[in-house]
A = this chain, B = another copy of it.
Amino acid sequence: MDPNGEEYQNLWETKLFFQNEELDCWTLDEAISGYYDSSSPDGAASSAASKNIVSERNRRKRLNERLFALRAVVPNISKMDRASIIKDAINYIQELQEQERGIQAEILELESGRSTGFDVFEQDLPLSVTSMREKTFVVSLTCRKRTDTMVKLCEVFESLRLKIITANVTTVSERVLKTVFIEADEDKDHLKTRIETAIAALNDPLSPM
């Protein structure tokens, strides 16, 4: 069912080459024939037939070139069959389509995962204020780990005059995560705004990026 593909390819290309050679030869012959046609009695019909022949030859040549080009863009071609080339191309296209679907789904999931996951610490404002229960909030913020970063963070929270229940500072991969449990009367958004302004007051060194 599957003879030697290499020889098949060579065979085919040889045939193609032969065909082209013959085509040129025939085209030349064609011109001669047309030359004869003008002087021969039944020149019209012969000329028409010859035109049809050369047109058909060019059409076959174009189709072969197309098929050759199709084989070129499809990887892992084993059999050089005309039908097999098209078959492999179909399989390859379906494979690409399926892969594209999967990859796009993955990219979608990845992006949505960022927005629904823990990316609060990666966004432009890596500050999250969550209401745990009545008057109790959890503040999480991250920033790059620099010199005096922790000190300045503590200064910020001290300056806010908040009732801090407990606070933790964790460093992971050159970043600082500070988690503070706070008891406050104010609104969640108001609290968040206050923290943001306090951090902005220290302008650049605390910029998350």
A95 to B122, CA, bound (A): 30
Bound Cα distance from A118 to B62, whole angstroms: 55
A161 to B122, CA, bound (A): 34
Take A107-B106, A122-B118 as given contacts and tell me if A63 and B89 are in contact as well, using a CB distance cutoff of 8 Å: no
A116 at the interface (CB under 8 A from B): yes
- The CA-CA distance from A81 to B172 in the complex, in Å, is 59
Q: Specify which chain B residues have a CB less than 8 angstroms from the CB of A90 in the assembled complex.
A: 66, 69-70, 73
> For residue A93, which residues in chain B have a CB less than 8 angstroms away from its CB?
70, 73-74, 89, 92-93, 96
Q: How many residues of A contact B (CB 8 A)?
A: 52
Interface residues of A in 91-112 (CB under 8 A from B): 92-94, 96-97, 99-100, 103-104, 106-107, 110-111
Residues of B within 8 A of A142 (CB): 118
Task: Flag whether A175 is at the interface (Cβ < 8 A).
Answer: yes
Determine the chain B residues whose CB is within 8 A of the CB of A89 once the complex forms: 70, 89, 93
* Cross-chain contact B117 with A173 (CB below 8 angstroms): yes
Given A83-B62, A107-B110, A110-B107: A172 touches B128 (CB 8 Å cut-off) = yes
Contacts A107-B103, A170-B130, A172-B118 known; A67 to B86 CB distance under 8 Å?
Answer: yes
Report the bound CA distance from A89 to B86 in whole Å.
10
Across the interface, do B120 and A173 meet the contact criterion of CB distance under 8 Å?
A: yes
Q: Give complex CA distance A62, B81 in Å.
A: 12
B-chain residues with CB within 8 Å of residue A198 when the two chains form the complex: none
Known: A63-B86, A66-B83, A179-B179. 8 other contacts (CB 8 A): A66-B90, A67-B86, A70-B89, A73-B97, A89-B89, A110-B111, A118-B118, A168-B181
